[in-house]
Chains A and B, each alone.
Chain A
Amino acid sequence: MAQQRSVFDIIGPVMIGPSSSHTAGAVRLGELARAIFGGQPVTADIVLHGSFASTGTGHGTDLALVAGLLGMAPDDPRIPDAFAEAAEAGLAVAFTTDDLGEVHPNTARLVLHASDGREMLVQGCSVGGGDVVVTRIGEFEVAVSGDLPVLVVAHRDQPGVIAGVTAVLAAEGVNVASMEVSRERRGASALMIIETDNPVAESSLDELRKVAGVTGVRTVPAV
C-alpha cells in the first residue's frame, strides 16, 4: 500500500467533484466492493458512518458509492445521475446512517446481494485525496487499497494452502507485494488477500482453484 507521489497525485486526479475524499474516494470504494463481490449486485444496503453520514448527501457520497457499484470510474460524468442509472441497471439501493464504532470517520458498509441470494458485506473508508482502504470483507478484517491488483482466495484453514497458492503464483511469475491471511477460527474458513505487482492471468485462476483447501478465488483489479 505504499503511496507513490507523482506529479499526477498533485495535479490530479481528474474527478467528478466536489470532494476527493467524499466523492472520488467513495466511487473507488464502490468499484472495489463491486470487484470483491464479483460483479454487479441486485441490491445494496449501504450504511454511512461519521462524516460520510453527516455530510455525505451534500458531497454526493451516496451517488458516488452507487456509481462505483455500477462500475463507473471517479471521473465518469454520469455520477450525478447514478441513482437513475442504477434503476435502469436493475440495482436497488437503500441508505441508512449508523455509528459503526471505532472506525475512520469516512466509512461505508455495503451489504450486497446477488440474484441467487448470495450475500457479502464489504466495509471500507476513504482516507483522503481519493485514497481508500477496504477494511472488512464478510467477517474478515482486511486492508485493500485498490492501488495494486488483488487476489482474494477463500479457503479452509489447513496446512499447505498458502504454499499451494504461492507456488502457482511463482510458476506464473507473479510477484507478491503484500499478503494477509486471516481465519474465522482454527480449522474453519479463512481468507487470503494478496496484492500483486501485475494482474493474475485467467489461466492461473483455474490452477489456484485446484489447490487443496481453496474454496473460491477472485481477482480485484487496481482502481
Chain B
Amino acid sequence: MAQTVNTKEVDEYLEQVVQALHRTVRYAIPHVKKDAEIADKAVKDCEEILSVVMEGNVSEWLK
C-alpha cells in the first residue's frame, strides 16, 4: 500500500526538526555551567523550533 500524500514529506520535515533539536541540546549541555550565553541561546533556539512543531501548520511546512 502506498504512503498517504503527506506522510513522506511530513516525515522528512520532522526528521530534520528532531535532528536540529538534538544538535542544539548536545552542543549546549557541556556549556551549561561555564557559559550561560550558549545555554540561553540554545534554549531560545529550541523554543523557536518547537513552537513551529506545536503550531502544527503542516501545509506551511510543506511549502
Pairing of A with B: no
